[in-house]
Amino acid sequence: MSFPSGFPRVGVLALQGDTREHLAALREAGADSMPVRRRGELDAVDALVIPGGESTTMSHLLLDCDLLEPLRARLADGLPAYGACAGMILLASEILDAGASGRAALPLHAIDITVRRNAFGRQVDSFEGDIGFAGLAEPVRAVFIRAPWVERVGDDVQVLARAAGHVVAVRQGPVLATAFHPEMTGDRRIHQLFVDIVNGRI
Protein backbone atom coordinates (compact mmCIF):
# COMPACT_ATOMS: atom_id res chain seq x y z
CA MET A 1 0.00 0.00 0.00
CA SER A 2 1.39 3.41 -0.95
CA PHE A 3 0.58 6.85 0.44
CA PRO A 4 1.14 10.27 -1.20
CA SER A 5 3.54 11.42 1.53
CA GLY A 6 5.23 8.04 1.82
CA PHE A 7 3.67 7.63 5.27
CA PRO A 8 0.10 6.76 6.23
CA ARG A 9 -1.91 9.68 7.58
CA VAL A 10 -3.31 8.40 10.85
CA GLY A 11 -5.84 10.56 12.64
CA VAL A 12 -6.45 10.64 16.36
CA LEU A 13 -10.01 11.44 17.40
CA ALA A 14 -9.47 14.65 19.35
CA LEU A 15 -12.77 15.13 21.14
CA GLN A 16 -11.54 13.88 24.52
CA GLY A 17 -8.72 11.78 25.97
CA ASP A 18 -4.98 11.30 25.42
CA THR A 19 -4.81 12.90 21.99
CA ARG A 20 -1.31 14.41 22.22
CA GLU A 21 0.23 11.21 23.57
CA HIS A 22 -1.19 9.14 20.71
CA LEU A 23 -0.12 11.71 18.10
CA ALA A 24 3.44 11.57 19.41
CA ALA A 25 3.49 7.77 19.61
CA LEU A 26 2.22 7.45 16.03
CA ARG A 27 4.91 9.82 14.73
CA GLU A 28 7.55 7.75 16.48
CA ALA A 29 6.06 4.65 14.84
CA GLY A 30 6.39 6.15 11.35
CA ALA A 31 3.00 7.69 10.67
CA ASP A 32 1.95 11.19 9.64
CA SER A 33 -0.46 11.86 12.50
CA MET A 34 -3.10 14.56 12.86
CA PRO A 35 -6.01 15.35 15.19
CA VAL A 36 -9.54 14.70 13.92
CA ARG A 37 -12.41 16.89 15.13
CA ARG A 38 -14.37 17.55 11.91
CA ARG A 39 -15.83 15.62 8.99
CA GLY A 40 -13.25 16.97 6.54
CA GLU A 41 -10.41 15.81 8.80
CA LEU A 42 -11.99 12.35 9.09
CA ASP A 43 -12.26 12.16 5.31
CA ALA A 44 -8.56 13.07 4.97
CA VAL A 45 -7.06 10.24 7.04
CA ASP A 46 -6.03 6.72 6.06
CA ALA A 47 -6.68 5.31 9.55
CA LEU A 48 -7.97 6.45 12.93
CA VAL A 49 -7.03 6.03 16.58
CA ILE A 50 -9.79 6.41 19.17
CA PRO A 51 -8.11 7.22 22.50
CA GLY A 52 -9.16 6.57 26.06
CA GLY A 53 -11.55 8.89 27.81
CA GLU A 54 -15.17 8.54 28.86
CA SER A 55 -17.08 6.46 26.33
CA THR A 56 -20.53 7.99 26.87
CA THR A 57 -19.13 11.52 26.61
CA MET A 58 -17.17 10.60 23.48
CA SER A 59 -20.28 9.06 21.92
CA HIS A 60 -22.29 12.22 22.38
CA LEU A 61 -19.46 14.43 21.21
CA LEU A 62 -19.40 12.34 18.03
CA LEU A 63 -23.11 13.05 17.68
CA ASP A 64 -22.72 16.75 18.41
CA CYS A 65 -19.92 17.06 15.84
CA ASP A 66 -21.88 15.11 13.20
CA LEU A 67 -19.15 12.47 13.13
CA LEU A 68 -20.94 9.35 14.41
CA GLU A 69 -22.57 8.15 11.20
CA PRO A 70 -19.70 9.24 8.89
CA LEU A 71 -17.30 7.34 11.15
CA ARG A 72 -19.52 4.26 11.18
CA ALA A 73 -19.67 4.43 7.38
CA ARG A 74 -15.90 4.69 6.98
CA LEU A 75 -15.34 1.81 9.39
CA ALA A 76 -17.86 -0.31 7.47
CA ASP A 77 -15.86 0.50 4.31
CA GLY A 78 -12.68 -0.88 5.91
CA LEU A 79 -11.01 2.11 7.57
CA PRO A 80 -8.20 0.77 9.79
CA ALA A 81 -8.81 1.77 13.39
CA TYR A 82 -7.21 1.32 16.78
CA GLY A 83 -9.10 1.89 20.02
CA ALA A 84 -7.54 2.12 23.49
CA CYS A 85 -9.74 1.68 26.58
CA ALA A 86 -12.80 3.85 25.76
CA GLY A 87 -11.78 3.44 22.12
CA MET A 88 -12.13 -0.33 22.49
CA ILE A 89 -15.59 0.18 23.98
CA LEU A 90 -16.73 2.36 21.08
CA LEU A 91 -15.33 0.07 18.38
CA ALA A 92 -17.25 -2.92 19.78
CA SER A 93 -20.43 -4.34 18.33
CA GLU A 94 -22.06 -4.63 21.77
CA ILE A 95 -21.49 -2.71 25.02
CA LEU A 96 -22.57 -4.06 28.41
CA ASP A 97 -23.32 -1.53 31.15
CA ALA A 98 -23.43 1.10 28.41
CA GLY A 99 -25.04 3.68 30.68
CA ALA A 100 -28.49 5.24 31.03
CA SER A 101 -30.50 5.39 27.81
CA GLY A 102 -30.09 9.15 27.45
CA ARG A 103 -26.31 8.98 28.02
CA ALA A 104 -25.41 5.55 26.72
CA ALA A 105 -22.15 4.72 24.97
CA LEU A 106 -22.91 4.13 21.28
CA PRO A 107 -21.16 1.21 19.54
CA LEU A 108 -19.48 1.78 16.19
CA HIS A 109 -19.80 -1.91 15.18
CA ALA A 110 -16.24 -2.09 13.86
CA ILE A 111 -15.17 -5.31 15.59
CA ASP A 112 -17.26 -8.34 16.56
CA ILE A 113 -16.84 -8.24 20.34
CA THR A 114 -18.94 -7.62 23.41
CA VAL A 115 -17.23 -5.40 25.98
CA ARG A 116 -18.08 -4.54 29.56
CA ARG A 117 -17.40 -0.96 30.62
CA ASN A 118 -15.38 -0.31 33.79
CA ALA A 119 -15.03 -4.08 34.18
CA PHE A 120 -11.84 -3.87 36.25
CA GLY A 121 -13.40 -1.35 38.64
CA ARG A 122 -13.40 2.36 39.28
CA GLN A 123 -10.56 4.90 39.08
CA VAL A 124 -9.16 3.77 42.44
CA ASP A 125 -8.87 0.23 41.04
CA SER A 126 -6.55 1.31 38.22
CA PHE A 127 -3.39 -0.79 37.90
CA GLU A 128 -0.53 -1.67 35.60
CA GLY A 129 1.47 -4.79 34.89
CA ASP A 130 3.39 -6.76 32.29
CA ILE A 131 1.29 -8.96 30.00
CA GLY A 132 2.11 -11.24 27.09
CA PHE A 133 1.01 -10.01 23.69
CA ALA A 134 0.69 -12.26 20.63
CA GLY A 135 3.45 -11.63 18.10
CA LEU A 136 5.67 -9.65 20.47
CA ALA A 137 8.74 -11.32 21.94
CA GLU A 138 8.70 -9.38 25.22
CA PRO A 139 5.75 -8.57 27.51
CA VAL A 140 3.96 -5.24 27.21
CA ARG A 141 3.64 -2.87 30.16
CA ALA A 142 -0.11 -2.34 30.29
CA VAL A 143 -1.77 0.56 32.14
CA PHE A 144 -5.44 -0.10 33.00
CA ILE A 145 -7.59 2.89 34.03
CA ARG A 146 -11.30 2.18 34.59
CA ALA A 147 -10.68 -0.40 31.92
CA PRO A 148 -13.12 -2.61 30.04
CA TRP A 149 -12.64 -6.25 29.22
CA VAL A 150 -13.99 -8.39 26.39
CA GLU A 151 -16.73 -10.84 27.35
CA ARG A 152 -17.49 -12.25 23.89
CA VAL A 153 -15.22 -12.68 20.89
CA GLY A 154 -16.59 -13.27 17.40
CA ASP A 155 -15.36 -16.12 15.21
CA ASP A 156 -13.16 -13.85 13.08
CA VAL A 157 -11.60 -11.98 16.00
CA GLN A 158 -8.05 -12.77 17.11
CA VAL A 159 -7.29 -12.60 20.85
CA LEU A 160 -3.92 -10.89 21.35
CA ALA A 161 -3.65 -10.53 25.12
CA ARG A 162 -5.27 -11.42 28.44
CA ALA A 163 -4.98 -9.97 31.94
CA ALA A 164 -6.33 -11.61 35.09
CA GLY A 165 -7.95 -14.22 32.86
CA HIS A 166 -9.86 -11.69 30.75
CA VAL A 167 -9.38 -10.73 27.09
CA VAL A 168 -7.84 -7.24 26.89
CA ALA A 169 -6.51 -6.99 23.32
CA VAL A 170 -8.09 -8.10 20.05
CA ARG A 171 -7.81 -7.69 16.31
CA GLN A 172 -10.23 -8.24 13.46
CA GLY A 173 -8.82 -7.42 10.04
CA PRO A 174 -7.66 -3.77 10.05
CA VAL A 175 -9.19 -3.05 13.47
CA LEU A 176 -7.12 -3.32 16.66
CA ALA A 177 -8.31 -2.68 20.21
CA THR A 178 -6.77 -2.79 23.68
CA ALA A 179 -8.30 -2.29 27.11
CA PHE A 180 -5.11 -0.58 28.26
CA HIS A 181 -3.22 2.62 27.42
CA PRO A 182 0.07 2.02 25.53
CA GLU A 183 0.47 5.76 24.91
CA MET A 184 1.24 6.20 28.62
CA THR A 185 4.49 4.23 28.46
CA GLY A 186 7.59 4.64 26.31
CA ASP A 187 6.90 1.35 24.54
CA ARG A 188 5.74 2.07 20.99
CA ARG A 189 5.24 -1.52 19.85
CA ILE A 190 1.42 -1.38 19.91
CA HIS A 191 1.41 1.79 17.82
CA GLN A 192 4.00 0.24 15.52
CA LEU A 193 1.77 -2.82 15.17
CA PHE A 194 -1.12 -0.58 14.14
CA VAL A 195 1.00 1.37 11.64
CA ASP A 196 2.13 -1.97 10.17
CA ILE A 197 -1.54 -2.99 9.85
CA VAL A 198 -2.32 0.30 8.08
CA ASN A 199 0.64 -0.25 5.75
CA GLY A 200 -0.61 -3.75 4.93
CA ARG A 201 2.51 -5.42 6.28
CA ILE A 202 0.63 -7.76 8.63
Beta bridge partners of 169: 161, 178
Closest by Cα among 195, 190, 193, 192 to 179: 190
Tell whether residue 151 is among the known ligand binding residues. no
How do strand 127-131 and strand 140-144 relate by DSSP bridges? antiparallel
Does 55 show up as a binding residue in the annotation? Answer: yes
Catalytic residue among 21, 22, 60, 85: 85
Nearest to 158 by CA among 148, 166, 167, 149: 167
Q: Is 103 annotated among the ligand-binding residues?
A: no
181 is known as an active-site residue: yes
Task: Check whether 201 is labelled as a binding-site residue.
Answer: no
Is 145 a known ligand-binding residue? yes
CA pair distance 35, 39, nearest whole angstrom: 12
Binding residue per annotation — 188?
Answer: no
User: Would residue 183 show up in a list of annotated catalytic residues for this protein?
Assistant: yes
- Of the listed 22, 60, 181, 191, which one is catalytic? 181
69 is a catalytic site residue: no
Active site residues: 85, 181, 183
Binding site residue list: 53-55, 117, 145-146
Binding site residue list for L-glutamine: 53-55, 117, 145-146
